[in-house]
Homo-oligomer: A and B are copies of this chain.
Amino acid sequence: MLAPVTEVEYGEDDLLALNLAGNAAWPSFAEELEALTGLPAGLHRTGTLSVAYDADDAAAIRRLAEYQRRLGLEVEELTGRETRKREPLLAAGVTAGVWVPGDHSVNNRQTVAALLRAVELSGVTLIKQSVSRILIDGSKAVGVELDNGDTIHAEHIIAAAGPWTAQLNGIPDELRPPVRPLKGEILRLRVPKAYRPALQHTVRATARGFSVYLVPRPDGELVVGATTSELGYDTRVLAGGVFTLLRDARMVLPITDELELVETVAGLRPATPDNAPVLGASGLDGLLWATGHYRNGVLLTPITAQVIAETVRTGVLPKLAEPFLADRFSRGDRAHGSAGAVPKVMG
């Protein structure tokens, strides 16, 4: 999901600004990627419908809609009937909705395939090896050692190792960013032709206090996500995760029961203490962080690339990214939301 508005959290104003910039960067990024590769970039512009199941859920999404409006974000509150009019297969019990026209979705598998092709076409050398160690000379990172024993020296190293970032060898402990794995399970369902499209927009539901999203794909796939489990690097798909997703999805979209369960997968998000990424200076010359994107890795792909490329070129991190420097975790100042580009409003 590209959902900076739908998924805004109270008080995370700097992150909202970054997420909005990320969302804004997507259309031209997708165009450029498709023009270069001839492959689909995966962007699917449908808008997002936030829906509530019971009265408590409705109160929660209405309160959030008020916050979103105060932030100047484009949202439209809907009654249950108006919500079902936009998505007729939603449960009769759906009590309220919020229409977010600017939030979309991306088929991340298509994006990755197109990016790999773009890398190839741009003459980049891709070395498919794990990094066993960052090589340090004094206060400068000078290269990496690979799992096969090879070393590569480089003037600029960008560590984008996601949930494995904190495990990179060679980094002094005090400079390791607090990035941890946060497990998530998702399901891929298939909508039979007779029922298509089961949904026309991305649906983000609050169902008896639980969150679930349903992302329709043009080919009839419906992606249902996502669980959140603090289980370290465990990537087993657990029965409890699948149960929770199905329970919540069928509550708001009863036809879920009739869809084929095609795939269950578990992945790891790179989470940080404040849910925001870690961008820019690492404390070692020559090494930049581009990690900790938590649930927003796809949303922030274009803007992260822009920010980091500019930093490499100019030596200066763009202002937008300043709140996300790694040193915020050691400054005793975790309230990075205080210097936001949008007015700070408590929810």
Contact = CB atoms under 8 A, between A and B. Distances in A.
A187 B261 CA distance: 12
A260 interface: yes
A247 B247 CA distance: 9
Contact of A242 (B190, B240, B246, B258): B246
Contact of A260 (B189, B190, B236, B260): B236
A176 interface: no
A119 B259 CA distance: 39
A237 B250 contact: no
Interface in A203-261: 236-240, 242-243, 246-247, 249-250, 256-261
B261 A239 contact: yes
A132 interface: no
Interface residues of A, number: 21
- Each complex incorporates copies of this chain amounting to 2
A239 B246 CA distance: 7
Interface in A69-122: none
Contacts of A250: 239-240, 243
A264 interface: yes
A4 to B, nearest CB: 29
Nearest to A259: B239
Contacts of A259: 238-239
Contacts of A264: 261, 264
Interface string A254-273: 00111111001000000000
B239 A260 contact: yes
Nearest to A257: B240
Closest 7 pairs (CB-CB, A-B): A240-B257, A236-B260, A243-B246, A239-B261, A237-B261, A239-B259, A239-B256
11 contacts: A236-B260, A237-B260, A238-B259, A239-B249, A239-B258, A239-B260, A240-B257, A240-B258, A243-B246, A243-B250, A246-B246
Given A238-B259, A239-B246, A264-B264, 13 more contacts: A189-B239, A236-B260, A237-B260, A238-B257, A239-B249, A239-B250, A239-B257, A239-B260, A239-B261, A240-B256, A240-B257, A242-B261, A261-B264
